[in-house]
Amino acid sequence: MVSGMPGSSSGIWFDSPLPFYEKGALVMFCGRRGGTSKGPYESLNASYKVGDDPKAVARNREMIARAMGVDPGRLVTMRQVHGTAIVEANEPFDDPPLADALYTTNPELVLCVLTADCIPLAAFWTEARLLLMAHVGWRGALQRFPELIVRHLKGLGADAHDLLFALGPSIKRPWYMVGEDVRQRFDRLADSYRAEDYFTDIDGGFIFDLTKLVVDQLKRAGANRENIWVSEYCTFFRPDLFFSYRRDGKRSGRQMSCGRIMAR
């Protein structure tokens, strides 16, 4: 599934999965354009933890909230740790949880994920009107986090075959270079995944296809490939549109991906 609708709202550039919108959920994978930050954080940096001016970050988040149609206080965030914790959000948290996925049935909340190369992953259970937003990097993928997300939703009563998924902009082949340590950790996934499907030897390292691995893990857990939308954008390759940690290093900003259930 590749149909998307890149666009702009209040000056903010975003990519968005059309199938989610058609079924009642608004997901905006925001880029770096349209904010107030300066220097390496120009301009829509949404992270307080990368060295940017906190006032600029607050203004940027306010702009994102307006684009999503809510008050900034309805943005729900988490402290992402490259783990596998999945937390339900009924109201905004006073103290954001240590987690890498949030889900809700509350249409007044906007679930948020910060990335700068990792995959922002959205899932929508249309029957229950339940939306999930997750952060999946190579560490999460090697812990089979996408599979765990599907299993969690199945445990709540969802039919995996009917779930909608969207993978937002992230680093893609051939720009994602990793070392032998990542390749060795991949072997712990078990023999059902073949390293040659995801790693290509080059110049003493490996090109890693994170997107393919995440899609395959969703499918392995029961998702229908026709219901998996994948953004065509690569964060590394488009410095005009995205922050990229792999490209720019520690002074890279973070883009925010947001999801909200639309009121009936």
C-alpha span between 24 and 213 (Å, rounded): 28
Residues 128-181 pLDDT 10s = 999 999 999 999 999 999 999 999 999 999 999 999 999 999 999 999 999 999
Residues 9-41 pLDDT 10s = 778 999 999 999 999 999 999 999 999 999 999
How high is the pLDDT of residue 264?
A: 79
Strand pairing class (75-76; 110-115): parallel
- pTM here is 0.96
Task: Give the 3-state secondary structure of residue 130.
Answer: strand
pLDDT over threshold 90, residue 4:
no
* Measured CA distances, 36 to 10, 140, 171, 262 (Å): 13, 31, 24, 28
Query: Is the CB of residue 160 less than 8 Å from the CB of residue 225?
Result: no
pLDDT over threshold 70, residue 2:
no
Helix axes 210-220, 145-155, angle to 10 degrees: 30
Report phi then psi at 140, rounded to 5.
-65, -40
For the four alpha carbons of 109, 131, 261 and 42, in that order, the dihedral sign comes to positive
C-alpha span between 17 and 205 (Å, rounded): 33
Place 70 in a pLDDT band, splitting at 50, 70 and 90. Answer: very high
How high is the pLDDT of residue 1?
A: 45
Domains along the sequence of the chain with CATH? 7-261 (3.60.140.10)
C-alpha span between 139 and 118 (Å, rounded): 10
